[in-house]
């Protein structure tokens, strides 16, 4: 059996009187694609914010590789190998594509001021490694030819891919994608589908996915969690979810 990578139990997030997330449980194993679905405002993004440390959960435990991470600072969590993208793309718009990739590798570089001023061999070597690593990932997402463009000038689909590549250079073990297919055309969605599967199969990472595009979710997920109004509604494989009467009701009731 593959190992448990992320284990979330009883995650609850309250904003004043509003309970945005209420007792959510999630399990992600190594090399798995797990999806979280639910109607608008269900609290999916809030779950991500809790896991990635942007919010400190009101209750519940978040275990990454059997270590508690709830309560750690956002940057500490991302250094432990849990990295996310955003529902609305967040790139460094005025920096070039390659610079975006290098900023993401900041902590792997030699940031000592003296070494930088004198360009010591160690500084050069790490800078070159980061560059190579960035080039590798730009190739993977098909953006190498745009390396010297300003990120803000890329098309929307390219920006989405760059955001994923930028996460990947940080060498995560769990990648969390918040609606990566939103705003993509069918062709780009298909590319994304392939990219996510490749990340799991070739790069051996796990992916936690929030998505509204049901055909994408049903096609690639190993396991699916459904939440509605912050509360867990169901979980299971794609087929189990498709035929779950509660889920159908929640979605039909909304539409």
Partner 1 sequence: MTTNKFYNAIFAAGITLILACLMIGVKLDTSGTQLAVKGATTAQWTWIGGGIAIVFLSQLFTNQIDALFRMIPKPSISTMLPEEKKMATLKPWLIAGAIVIMVIWPFMVSRGSVDLATLTLIYIMLGLGLNIVVGLAGLLDLGFVAFYAVGAYTYALLSQYFGLSFWVCLPISAGMAALFGFVLGFPVLRLRGDYLAIVTLGFGEIIRILLNNWTEVTGGPSGISGIAKPTLFGLEFTRKAKGGEDAMTFHEYFNLDYSSSYKVIFLYLIAILLVCFVIYVINRLMRMPIGRAWEALREDEIACRSLGLNRTAIKLSAFTLGASTAGFAGAFFSARQGFISPESFIFIESAIILAIVVLGGMGSQYGIILAAIVMTILPELAREFSEYRMLLFGLLMVLMMRWRPDGLIPTKRPHLELKQQ
Name the residues that contact partner 1, by CB under 8 A: 52, 54, 74-75, 78-79, 83-84, 86, 90-96, 98-99, 102-104, 106-107, 109-111, 113, 116-117, 127, 131, 135, 147-148, 166-167, 170
Alpha-helical runs (H) found in the chain = 44-51, 74-79, 97-104, 113-118, 121-140, 156-168, 186-201, 214-220, 238-242, 245-254
Residues contacting residue 81 through CB under 8 Å, at least 6 positions apart: 64, 171, 172, 173, 174
Which residue, 37 or 169, is less far from ligand ATP as judged by CB?
A: 37
74 binds, among ligand ATP, Mg ion, partner 1, none (CB under 5 to 8 A by kind): partner 1
Backbone angles phi, psi at 196, to 5 degrees: -65, -40
The count of chain residues that interact with Mg ion, using the rule CB under 5 A, is: 2
Decide: is 35 part of the binding site for Mg ion (CB under 5 A).
Answer: no
Stretch that binds Mg ion, among 14-22, 45-53, 146-154, 235-243 (CB under 5 A): 45-53
Q: Within 13 Å of residue 106, how many CA atoms lie on the same side as its CB?
A: 7
Shortest Å, Cβ 167 to ligand ATP: 19
Shortest Å, Cβ 55 to Mg ion: 13
Task: Scan for tokens 């250079």, then name that residue.
Answer: 169
Shortest Å, Cβ 75 to ligand ATP: 19
Q: Buried b / exposed e across 198-209, counting CB within 10 Å, b at 16+?
A: ebbeeeebbbbb
Shortest Å, Cβ 43 to partner 1: 19
Decide: is 45 part of the binding site for Mg ion (CB under 5 A).
Answer: yes
């Amino acid at each position: 059996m593959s190992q448990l990578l992320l284990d979330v139990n009883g995650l609850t997030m309250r904003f004043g009187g509003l309970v945005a997330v209420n007792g959510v449980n999630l399990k992600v194993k190594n090399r798995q694609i797990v999806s979280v679905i639910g109607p608008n405002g269900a609290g999916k993004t809030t779950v991500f914010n809790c896991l990635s440390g942007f919010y400190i959960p009101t209750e519940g435990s978040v275990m990454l590789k059997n270590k508690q991470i709830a309560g750690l600072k956002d940057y500490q969590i991302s250094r432990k190998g849990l990295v996310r993208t955003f529902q609305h793309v967040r790139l460094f718009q005025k920096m070039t594509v390659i610079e975006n990739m290098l900023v993401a590798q900041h902590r792997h570089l030699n940031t000592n001021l003296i070494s930088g001023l004198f360009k010591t061999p160690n500084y050069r070597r790490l800078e070159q490694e980061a560059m190579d690593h960035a080039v590798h990932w730009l190739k993977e997402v098909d953006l190498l030819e745009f390396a010297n463009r300003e990120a803000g000038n890329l098309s929307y689909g390219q920006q989405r891919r760059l955001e994923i590549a930028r996460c990947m250079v940080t060498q995560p073990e769990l990648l969390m994608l918040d609606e990566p297919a939103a705003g993509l055309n069918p062709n780009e969605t298909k590319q994304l589908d392939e990219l996510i599967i490749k990340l799991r199969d070739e790069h051996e990472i796990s992916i936690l996915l929030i998505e509204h595009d049901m055909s994408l979710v049903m096609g690639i997920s190993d396991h699916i969690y459904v939440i509605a109004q912050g509360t867990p509604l169901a979980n299971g494989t794609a087929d189990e979810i498709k035929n779950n009467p509660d889920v159908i009701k929640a979605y039909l009731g909304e539409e």
